[in-house]
């Protein structure tokens, strides 16, 4: 298959690179890591002004009306710059509202998302290795069309400043997604630092009022989990590619025994392995995007969309982590300097590789999917 970007996506990638080159250099990233929010509001505003935050929002709600592939082009560039803005979580949540929200929910949320006035985030993970597709948080029907949620959600990304949280929970009819106001009754939070110098939140819900996104038990949660995995893979491609380029630059300038380090065969083999892994990550990412575009609401385990999503997630976790390990290693002692640029790529790659379950979870899910397909076909 030909995964070459069309002119629109190439222009979008160039626009994202221009903005991030200007506003997300190493000094700026270092500065944001010391702030209370850990989010670069200036960069977020610039992305809003450029229309990037509304890429997946329909045109009737003031967005660009593009798909997940457009978001992933920007996410890859963000990963390359390790830029501290909550693009993947906000983008996936906005796409979930676009796909599964009622007309009233879309009209209420999407226009302000596109303008940058409001932001959504995701609460899809729980403790003790809980399967994100089978959340332990419970949702019980309340008066009217409302719901009450009870449970604990782990590592909610960039909750401060979010207008709504998209929470996964299980009902008698199956798992679903629910919109929760962070300021609602029954909500308590605890913030903590993450590996990549971001802030994560433990979200405790105690009979908290919520509204359903779509119909509980339908495909909303499974499709959103797949979308989130693809979005994380896009960020990881950028993180790995950025780390490799830093390593190549360093090795071409640093000399040992009167020769550039990059001229030594052992070092060349290390970067060659990085190149191969990144190429595989990018190919599987675009395979998953192509399958997702063909049928975005397909959750049939025999269909290629589900398989492609898990393959991309595995390469994101396994290949991405291998690359940031190698690139840090070839930097020698300076690679473990906490303030050196390549170390940030290592920290991002490490955290992304375990978000929504690590490589072993992805591989087990893919194996189960293949086995089920063979049994039922």
CB 168 within 8 A of CB 189: no
Per DSSP, helices labelled H in 148-264 are 220-253
In a domain, 276, yes or no: yes
What's the pLDDT score for residue 370? 84
Phi, psi of 37 (to 5 degrees): -85, -25
pLDDT for 213 beyond 60: yes
**Pairwise CA distance, residues 323 & 360, whole Å:** 17
How confident is the model over 290-308, as a mean pLDDT?
Answer: 67
* 225 plus 362 within the same structural domain: yes
| Partners of 205 in the β-ladder | 151, 187
In a domain, 262, yes or no: yes
* 193 plus 290 within the same structural domain: no
What's the pLDDT score for residue 358? 84
How confident is the model over 199-219, as a mean pLDDT?
Answer: 95
* 207 plus 143 within the same structural domain: yes
pLDDT in tens, 96-111: 999 999 999 999 999 9
pLDDT in tens, 317-342: 999 999 999 999 888 878 778 888 99
Nearest partner of 161 among 84, 105, 220, judged by Cα: 84
| β strands within the chain, DSSP E | 120-123, 138-141, 146-157, 164-171, 174-180, 187-193, 199-213, 255-256, 259-260
* 368 plus 240 within the same structural domain: yes
* 66 plus 113 within the same structural domain: yes
Higher pLDDT, 377 or 138: 138
* 359 plus 245 within the same structural domain: yes
pLDDT in tens, 360-372: 888 888 888 888 8
**Pairwise CA distance, residues 182 & 164, whole Å:** 6
Q: Is 55 exposed, middle or buried (0-12, 13-18, 19+ CB in 10 A)?
A: buried
Average pLDDT of the chain is 91
Full domain range(s) for residue 287: 220-376
In 3-state terms, what secondary structure has residue 108? helix
In a domain, 348, yes or no: yes
Decide the pairing of beta strands 120-123 and 164-171: parallel
CB 56 within 8 A of CB 97: no
* 287 plus 168 within the same structural domain: no
The terminus-to-terminus CA distance of the chain in angstroms comes to 25
CB 224 within 8 A of CB 96: yes
Domain boundary among 118, 138, 169: 118
What's the pLDDT score for residue 14? 96
Q: How many C-beta atoms lie closer than 10 Å to residue 43's C-beta?
A: 23
**Pairwise CA distance, residues 375 & 321, whole Å:** 33
* 269 plus 151 within the same structural domain: no
In a domain, 335, yes or no: yes
Label residues 340-377 b or e (16+ Cβ within 10 Å = b).
bbbbbbbbbbbbbbebbbbbebbbebbeebeeeeeeee
In a domain, 245, yes or no: yes
* 104 plus 169 within the same structural domain: no
* 180 plus 276 within the same structural domain: no
What's the pLDDT score for residue 17? 97
CATH number at residue 292: 1.20.140.10
pLDDT in tens, 30-59: 999 999 999 999 999 999 999 999 999 999
Query: DSSP letters along 242-278, please?
Result: HHHHHHHHHHHH-EETTEEGGGSHHHHHHHHHHHHHH
**Pairwise CA distance, residues 58 & 256, whole Å:** 55
How confident is the model over 137-151, as a mean pLDDT?
Answer: 93
Query: Which DSSP symbol is given to 184?
Result: S
CATH number at residue 147: 2.40.110.10
pLDDT for 299 beyond 60: no
**Pairwise CA distance, residues 120 & 188, whole Å:** 18
In a domain, 1, yes or no: no
CB 313 within 8 A of CB 233: yes
pLDDT for 344 beyond 50: yes
In a domain, 2, yes or no: no
Reported as a pLDDT band with limits 50, 70 and 90, residue 250 is: confident
Quote the number of domains for the chain. 3
Domain boundary among 94, 118, 142: 118
Phi, psi of 177 (to 5 degrees): -115, 145
pLDDT in tens, 254-285: 766 777 766 667 788 889 999 999 999 999 99
pLDDT for 71 beyond 60: yes
**Pairwise CA distance, residues 96 & 121, whole Å:** 11
* 181 plus 228 within the same structural domain: no
> pLDDT > 90: what percent of the chain?
75
Q: Is 259 exposed, middle or buried (0-12, 13-18, 19+ CB in 10 A)?
A: exposed
Higher pLDDT, 187 or 217: 187
* 246 plus 132 within the same structural domain: no
What's the pLDDT score for residue 2? 63
pLDDT for 186 beyond 50: yes
How confident is the model over 77-88, as a mean pLDDT?
Answer: 97
What's the pLDDT score for residue 263? 66
| Largest separation between any pair of C-alpha atoms in the chain | 77
Distance set, CA 56 to CA 187, 205, 321 (Å): 29, 29, 28
Domain boundary among 190, 213, 236: 213
CATH number at residue 72: 1.10.540.10
pLDDT for 188 beyond 80: yes
Reported as a pLDDT band with limits 50, 70 and 90, residue 3 is: low
């Amino acid at each position: 298959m030909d995964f070459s970007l069309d002119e629109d996506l190439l222009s979008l990638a160039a626009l994202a690179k221009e903005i991030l080159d200007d506003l997300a250099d190493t000094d700026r990233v270092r500065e944001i890591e010391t702030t209370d929010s850990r989010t670069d509001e200036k960069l977020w505003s610039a992305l809003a002004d450029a229309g990037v935050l509304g890429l997946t929002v329909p045109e009737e709600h003031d967005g660009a009306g593009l798909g997940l592939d457009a978001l992933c082009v920007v996410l890859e560039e963000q990963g390359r710059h390790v830029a501290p803005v909550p693009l993947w979580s906000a983008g996936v949540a906005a796409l979930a509202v676009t796909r599964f929200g009622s007309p009233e929910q879309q009209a209420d949320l999407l226009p302000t998302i596109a303008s940058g006035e409001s932001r959504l985030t995701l609460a899809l993970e729980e403790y003790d290795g809980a399967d994100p597709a089978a959340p332990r948080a419970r949702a019980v029907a309340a008066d009217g069309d409302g719901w009450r949620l009870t449970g604990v959600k782990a590592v909610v990304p960039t909750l401060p400043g979010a207008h709504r949280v998209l929470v996964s929970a299980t009902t008698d009819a199956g798992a679903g997604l629910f919109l929760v106001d962070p300021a609602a009754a029954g909500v308590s939070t605890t913030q903590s630092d993450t590996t990549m110098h971001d802030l994560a939140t433990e979200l405790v819900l105690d009979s908290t009022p919520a509204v359903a996104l779509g119909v509980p038990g339908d495909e909303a949660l499974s499709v959103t989990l797949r979308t989130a995995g693809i979005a994380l893979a896009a960020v990881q491609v950028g993180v790995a590619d950025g780390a490799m380029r830093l390593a190549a630059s360093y090795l071409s300038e640093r000399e040992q025994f009167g020769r550039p380090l990059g001229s030594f065969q052992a070092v060349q083999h290390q970067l060659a392995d990085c190149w191969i892994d990144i190429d595989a990550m990018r190919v599987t990412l675009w395979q998953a995007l192509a399958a997702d575009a063909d049928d975005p609401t397909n959750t049939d385990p025999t269909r290629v969309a589900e398989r492609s999503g898990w393959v991309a997630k595995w390469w994101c976790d396994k290949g991405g982590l291998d690359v940031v390990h190698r690139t840090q290693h070839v930097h020698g002692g300076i690679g473990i300097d906490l303030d050196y640029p390549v170390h940030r790529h290592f920290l991002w790659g490490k955290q992304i590789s375990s978000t929504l379950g690590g490589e072993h979870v992805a591989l087990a899910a893919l194996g189960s999917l293949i086995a089920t397909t063979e049994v039922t076909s």
